[in-house]
Structure 1
Amino acid sequence: MKTNSQSNPDWSIYNAALAMTGALTIAIIPGIPLYTASAQEAFPDVPADYWAQPFIEDLNQAGILDGYLNNTFQPEQLIDRDEYAAIIRQAFEAEPVRQIASASKFEDVPEGYWASTAIKEAYETGFMNTPTPAAEQFNPQKELTRAEAIAVLARGLDIQQPVGLQQTQGRAQARKSPNRLAFPLASTALMQLFAPVAAIASPAASPAVSQPEPVDLSQYYADADQIPEALQDEIALATQAGLVVNYPDLDRLNPNQPISRGGASALVHQALVYEGALPPLSPESPSADYIVQP
């Protein structure tokens, strides 16, 4: 349960007390020490045979994700927009594409909100948007769907090239040496996917560069017809980049299903692989079977 400052004047103190009992995700509060699990410690609720264990372990080893104060990870718990913003902030370094004075510009992000800095940065760098361009709300406690979580990464990494071309052209760069406290994993407009076909070059002109074929998402996903139209281009780009991880069925995206912590870990892991910040999973790992291959 999350509590906002409007219903509880001592919101930060209340959250700190809950965090100390392990009942709430750790918030960054001045004067409150942040518990950080050793990278060598396994989360007791993420056994070796859990489908997302290698993704979670790699992110924990990289200092990007930690668990609760009781050292659990709770991989099946669903994730909200504020929590995803916190992970984005910790995982990637990106240049701002717009600026806001503070996250409290949004009516539903009160002053002192635990994820204010993360929300501000995720919004300014273009990873996360408001529901509509003119919206005055961020919906921080709204659960994130799988399609939305994938689109956030495709948007923030500015993926525009098919796999096989240089993969570090996005404006986001992974944090090679995280220098911020690691967050636990608790909790729109791109350029057109493909440019118009170039005119036939004259003999004196440079050879025309062939354009990639549009991605037929139905070739990848049996439920492609359920992908929201507004997110289809971003899903296609993410698919080409190898960001998509589908469990338990490789050919089912389940785009409108809320994403879990384990599922979000897998996507962020693959985004860092795309950026060259993490090595890919070994092909021998059973978890690699759930990565959609472009």
Structure 2
Amino acid sequence: MTNRPPSEPESSQRTALGFDEFIAILVAFTTIGAILFWSLSRRDSSWNLNALLSPDSTPSGSVQPNQLLPSPTAKVQPNPVPNKVLPYSPPPEAVVEPTTRSFPTNSATPSRPVLPSVQVIPTQSSQPQTPVSSSAGLESSIRLSALPLVTPAKPKSIIPPPIAFNDVPNNFWGRRFIDVLSSRGILKGFPDYSFRPNQAVNRAEFAAILQKAFDQEPSKTAIAFQDVSAKFWATPAIDEAISAGFLKGYPKKTFKPQQNISRVQVLVALVSGLNLKAPTSPNQILSVYKDAKDIPTYATNKIATATANRLVVNYPNPQILDPNKVASRAEVAAMIHQALVKRGKLKAIPSQSIVRSPKISSELSQTSKPNPKGKLSDRGSSQ
């Protein structure tokens, strides 16, 4: 056998591309060409790998000239934005690099200006919003503080108007006394808007009027009257009137709440409750009454004290006391009003029905007589 030289290696066979491979290559090249064409056509934007890689970076986008970059988080800065911010206008054909929330870096080239990092809260309004300046708020506060403060010279009265009772005419003698007490809630009328000024007042009703007029604290040791139950409507008022010294009971622990109260009993109760000092000459003071003999003995000093302190109101004749007459609602209103004037809670009302004692009248008349030197006497009233 003879040795043959090694045969030459056969060349690799080249096969022609199939239809599928040709379509794939064509699609790939078309896609690459479209991407390159799209990237080159956007001249006002550029690739920023740092923005894509950094999680805190703002999304890239085109920035038009004279437009501020909105903050993606839309956070309100603690310091207000200056009122007038003039954004930089880049020259034509200039490309502005998008910035992040951090401070501008020094990597920007001199040929590319960088906008100031100003964050503006985006709004839905179509009109441009101007940032609010701190100086504007300061100026508004100064303007408000510069306004003069207007304060009333006198405090407004909180007393409501009196009740317009349909049976108390304007020319009624006790109209002014009733108006003052009704406006303060001391006296009230009836559901039909009447006052019934001539109606009698019983002891329970008088105790209720005293309670509203003088507002006394109830006594801890109240008397358990046999004719006043604990559920009676006037029991608290009766207890206060007894503890303050205005009223007293009768023997056998009775109060007689339904008994009508007389004029002398009203005056004695007011003098006792106000603890007024008795005058030195009661008989001289009582001489002003034509019916002074009708005054009970136990009430002589009390009536003289009430007269000296102008608690007595007689109508139509001031010289007729009529002490044993049942007191009417209008008469009780007038005497309660005078007692509150004595305590300094109400202003005095001029009325011809208010009785003045002879002693007071004589001393007041002496103050109007000129002395020999042509001057008024300096003697004062004994009231």
After TM superposition, the score normalised by the length of structure 2 is 0.49
Tell me which residue corresponds to 2:355.
Answer: 292
Q: Distance in 1 between matches of 2:230 and 2:286?
A: 44
TM-superposition CA deviations, 1:240-282 (whole Å, max 9, x none): 110000011100110000000001000001101111111111x
* Corresponding residue for residue 263 of structure 1: 331
Question: What is residue 112 of structure 1 aligned with on the other side?
Answer: 231
Partner of residue 240, structure 2: 121
* 1:175-214 mapped onto 2 (5 Å cutoff): 193=278, 212-214=280-282
Distance 1:114 1:91 in 2: 17
Q: 1:238 aligns with which of 306, 322, 325?
A: 306
Q: Does 1:146 align with 2:263?
A: yes
- Classify the secondary structure of the residue corresponding to 1:254: coil
Question: What amino acid is the match of 1:256?
Answer: N
Amino acid aligned to 2:305? L
- Partner of residue 187, structure 2: 65
Structure 1 residue aligned with 2:209? 87
Unaligned runs of 5+ in 2: 1-159, 358-383
Distance 1:94 1:41 in 2: 25
Q: Higher relative contact order by CA 8 Å / sep ≥ 6: 1 or 2?
A: 1
Check conservation: 1:223, 1:252, Cα contact below 8 A.
yes
Deviation at 1:217, TM superposition (A): 4.4
Partner in structure 1 of residue 137 of structure 2: none
- C-alpha separation between the residues in 2 aligned to 1:248 and 1:115? 32
Q: 1:278 to 1:219 in 2, by over 3 A?
A: same
Percent sequence identity is 38
Q: What do residues 61-107 of structure 1 show as CA deviations (whole Å, max 9, x unaligned)?
A: 222111112221111100000000000010013467x6534x6x101
State the match for 1:229 in structure 2.
Answer: 297
The answer (yes or no) to whether the contact 2:282–2:300 under 8 Å persists in 1 is no
Deviation at 1:219, TM superposition (A): 1.6
Q: Distance in 2 between matches of 1:236 and 1:99?
A: 32
CA distance in 1, matches of 2:162, 2:271: 31
Residues 204, 238 of structure 2: 8 Å contact kept: yes
In structure 1, C-alpha distance between the alignment counterparts of 2:179 and 2:207, rounded to whole Å: 20
Deviation at 1:39, TM superposition (A): 3.2
Query: Could you say if the C-alpha distance between residues 52 and 100 of structure 1 is closer, same or farther in structure 2, counting changes exceeding 3 Å?
Result: same
What RMSD, in angstroms, separates the aligned Cα atoms of the two structures? 1.7
Work out whether residues 218 and 225 of structure 1, in 8 Å CA contact, stay in contact via their aligned partners in 2. no
Question: What's 1:51 paired with?
Answer: 173
Shift of 1:215: 4.0
Equivalent residues, number: 198
AA of the residue aligned to 2:329: R
In structure 2, what is the equivalent of residue 170 of structure 1?
none
Q: Is contact 2:290-2:320 (8 Å) kept?
A: yes
CA positional deviation for 1:155: 0.4
Distance in 1 between residues matched to 2:270 and 2:177, nearest whole Å: 16
Task: Give the drift of 1:128.
Answer: 0.2
SS at match of 2:215: strand
Partners of 1:62 and 1:40 in 2: CA distance = 8
- Is contact 1:217–1:224 with CA below 8 Å preserved after alignment? no
Q: Is the 8 A contact 1:144 1:258 kept in 2?
A: yes
1: CA distance, partners of 2:239 / 2:230:
12
Q: Which residue of 2 aligns with 1:216?
A: 284
User: Moved runs in structure 1, 4+ residues, more than 2 A?
Assistant: 38-41, 93-96, 98-101, 212-218
SS in 2 for 1:66: coil
Q: Distance in 1 between matches of 2:220 and 2:269?
A: 18
Unaligned segments of structure 1, at least 5 residues: 1-37, 161-192, 195-211
Letter of the 2:353 partner, please give it: Y
Q: Does structure 1 retain, via aligned residues, the 8 Å contact 2:162–2:179? A: no
**Cα separation, 1, equivalents of 2:215 and 2:298:** 26
Which of 1 and 2 has greater Rg? 2
Q: How far apart, CA to CA, are the structure 1 residues paired with 2:220 and 2:162?
A: 39
- What is the letter of the counterpart of residue 190 of structure 2? Y
1:33 maps to: none
